[in-house]
Structure 1
Amino acid sequence: MAKGRASAGRLSVDDWIQAGYAILADDGLEALKLDRLCARLAVTKGSFYWHFRDMAAYRAALVQAWGELRDRDRRDFGELDHLPPRERLARMMSSLLGEKQWTLERAMREWARTDPAVAGSVHAADLLVLRAVREAFLAAGFDEDGADVRANATFAAGIGFLHLSDGPPDERLTAQRERFLDLMLAH
């Protein structure tokens, strides 16, 4: 039985969402097809249509669920305010580029290049990150302009680290991120 199943033999909407995430992360948007989803979950198309009107409705649900997941992740950044700014920034970066997030994050950003709804969701999540990163730089003693420049550069570098990696972050990439944060926090 799949994790998160509503009951024995019956899939939940979350089962379908998780299967979609796995396909996106493993093989990209082009692989997100009904036959592929059904094969992954070992069910018929009828099961899909029990929960979704069509692939467009499914994709919309996938984007909405991703946005909600990312919003929850980003809201957790507010709970880091008690930490020193450098540790706060390191945790945010690790959270966004962690092993389980990096492939899905990349896939959603690629999808956002061709779908305005996905782009809107990614943009909204990005604004939450930028705000939290900016607050960390303000807490580190930078003025408004300095915090803005550093927040934008840190965010852009994080996206760069995400797209340059061929796999989950390794020790070398982690060391580069740490060195980057040292540079950005230098007064």
Structure 2
Amino acid sequence: MDSQRNFVYEKVCTILLCTLLGLFLMSVSETNPMPKSSNDGRFDRAAWLLAALNVLARDGQARLNVEKLAGKLGVTKGSFYYHFRNRQDFIEKLLAFWEEEFTQQQLRALAASKAPAHERLFRLAVRVEREQLNKFDTAFRCWAAQDTLVAKVVRRVDAARFTAIKAIFAEIGFTGVDLIERTRIFVLFHSSLSIVQVPDESPVTDDLIRERVRFFTQSRGD
């Protein structure tokens, strides 16, 4: 009975999460127009992948088939097969593109920085906000509930983010449960920003972002 309730609970959570995605990410296509094609009229691979991310966020993974995606872009299927062997190859490259552009590149820059720990967290939080590095997270999490390959990549992305942020919190001086939970909340907060809408929210200034970082990093006695 408990296992059945857990199964139902997980499904309900997935449905709610995907519903939030549909409600809150409809603006993605408006703020991120489809990329232009190359000079010879063919979309390059990066343009296809960026366009696919926008379609994924707005319409869900069911729309990521060759015919519908080509129709959205106003190109032929031949352009798709110029860059991808088949749909599976396309999905694998899309996952790799999302992981590299929106996580791994950012973590390499974070690791290379010589700034103090608090400042590194601040700069990362600014990039997440200004460059909308989290805007596709919810779409991939919804998809991961239905696809083991996607789930594997999402877990790898989460693990990479967690490890990098945990190292910074440890550098600040946190240990044990405090270290784990602060890291978890920081990562979760910045991944979920794209779907949480707060009425009358103040403009997200650098000062506000710095205050958020201070909140995450202040000691219990502060």
Give the TM-score taking structure 2 as reference length.
0.68
- Identify if the C-alpha distance between structure 1 residues 10 and 20 changes in structure 2 by more than 3 Å, giving closer, same or farther: same
2:117 equivalent to 1:88: no
SS at structure 1 position matched to 2:40:
coil
- CA shift, 1:54, in A, is 2.8
Does the CA-based 8 Å contact 2:170-2:179 persist in structure 1? Answer: yes
- 5+ residue gaps, structure 2, are 1-34
- The answer to whether the aligner puts 1:38 opposite 2:38 as a matched pair is no
Shift of 1:78: 0.6
Distance in 1 between residues matched to 2:74 and 2:145, nearest whole Å: 31
Structure 1 residue 117, shift from structure 2 partner: 1.4
Instruction: Give the length in aligned residue pairs.
Output: 182
Instruction: Write the letter of the residue equivalent to 1:79.
Output: A
Return the letter of the residue paired with 1:61: K
Structure 1 position 109 matched with structure 2 position 141 = yes
- Following superposition, the deviation at residue 102 of structure 1 comes to 3.4
Deviation at 1:65, TM superposition (A): 1.9
Letter in 2 for 1:45: K
Can you list the C-alpha shifts for 1:48-69, whole angstroms capped at 9, x where unaligned?
Answer: 2333333232222211222222
Residue equivalent to 1:132 = 164
Is the counterpart of residue 120 in structure 1 residue 143 in structure 2?
no
CA RMSD of aligned residues (A): 2.9
Q: Alpha-carbon deviation of 1:172? A: 5.5
Q: Which amino acid aligns with 1:65?
A: F
Do the aligned residues in 1 keep the contact of 2:122 with 2:213 (CA within 8 Å)? Answer: yes
- Deviation, 1:129, is 1.5
Q: CA 1:35–1:175 in 2, change beyond 3 Å: closer, same or farther?
A: farther
1:65 and 2:97 are equivalent in the alignment: yes
1:134-161 C-alpha deviation (Å, 9 max, x unpaired): 1221222223543223112222232343
Residues 57, 136 of structure 2: 8 Å contact kept: yes
TM-score in terms of structure 1 length: 0.78
Please tell me whether the aligned partners of residues 52 and 58 of structure 1 are also in contact (alpha carbons under 8 angstroms).
Answer: yes
Give the deviation of 1:125 after TM superposition: 1.8
1:2-81 equivalent positions in 2, closer than 5 A: 3=36, 5=38, 7-69=39-101, 70-80=103-113
Moved over 6 A (4+): 173-176
Residues 165 and 86 (structure 1 numbering): CA distance in 2 closer, same or farther, change over 3 Å? farther
Q: Where do residues 158-177 of structure 1 align in structure 2 (5 Å cutoff)?
A: 158-165=190-197, 171=203
The 1:140–1:16 alpha-carbon spacing in structure 2 relative to 1, beyond 3 Å, is same
What amino acid does structure 2 have at the position aligned with 1:161? L
Specify the alignment match of 2:18 in structure 1.
none
**1:4 and 1:14 in contact (8 A); partners too:** no
1:181–1:124 Cα change, 3 Å: same
